[in-house]
Amino acid sequence: MGDAKSAIRIAVMDYGVKRNILNCMVERGAFVKVFPAKTSLAEVKKFEPHGYFISNGPGDPAPMDYAVNTLKEILKEEKPVFGICLGHQLLARANDIPTFKMHHGHRGLNHPVKNLITGRSEITTQNHGFGVDPEAMKKADHLEITHVNLNDKSIEGIRVKGKPAFSVQYHPEATPGPHDSRYLFDEFIELIKEQKN
């Protein structure tokens, strides 16, 4: 999707990606190519992407070693990485942080999330039953918690220190739903532009 002549190429690792996520990147001038879940990194690199998007999707990230191993290799590329929902959990697992099945998952609209970087709160749309282990995150010097859920204090966003890699648990592309978090796509595109220049 997008203009083939675009200067920004984003490889999308598809674990159940939503079309509006692709639209949000295309609207910002990106040329996106969607790769099936088990595509090798060697094959993806033929596209010569400037950044990688790790998609949302259903289910438990724990048995997805193929995705975690690919993401570990992607992180060695030192190129911008953005994950949403399942992609957020996979980024955690690729950095040796476990995930767990939540007693009550987060479903639907109007979930309040605080951005710890800006201090602002966002109303978000969510649909997940697994979360990132908070105790392991507290001990991880190479990771930073960027967003927390204001209802239950669960982890809603992380970034990898020293790398242009970040993720959120919720859906910033929500349609229908709140648009409070669309800025995350802008941040991803800016990371790519900064690295390209």
Helix (H) or strand (E) holding 128: strand 121-132
Cα–Cα dist 134/195, whole Å: 31
Given 24, 50, 85, 147, the catalytic residue: 85
pLDDT confidence of residue 1: 54
Angle at 46 between CA 42 and CA 51, to 5 degrees: 90
**What are the backbone angles phi and psi of residue 33, rounded to the nearest 5°?**
-125, 130
Handedness of CA 51, 54, 56, 57 (dihedral sign): positive
Which CATH code for domain 8-196?
A: 3.40.50.880
Catalytic residue status for 171: yes
pLDDT tens by residue, the chain, 197 residues: 545 555 799 999 999 999 999 999 999 999 999 999 999 999 999 999 999 999 999 989 999 999 999 999 999 999 999 999 999 999 999 999 999 999 888 999 889 999 999 999 999 999 999 999 999 999 999 999 999 999 999 999 999 999 999 999 999 998 767 788 999 999 999 999 998 76
pLDDT confidence of residue 50: 97
Across the strands, what pairs with 35? 13
Cα–Cα dist 152/7, whole Å: 41
pLDDT confidence of residue 179: 86
**What are the backbone angles phi and psi of residue 28, rounded to the nearest 5°?**
-100, 15
Catalytic residue status for 85: yes
* Helix, strand or coil, per DSSP, at residue 191: helix
pLDDT confidence of residue 5: 56
Handedness of CA 15, 56, 13, 73 (dihedral sign): negative
pLDDT confidence of residue 52: 98
Given 106, 128, 147, 171, the catalytic residue: 171
Cα–Cα dist 105/22, whole Å: 25
pLDDT confidence of residue 4: 55
Given 88, 111, 147, 173, the catalytic residue: 173
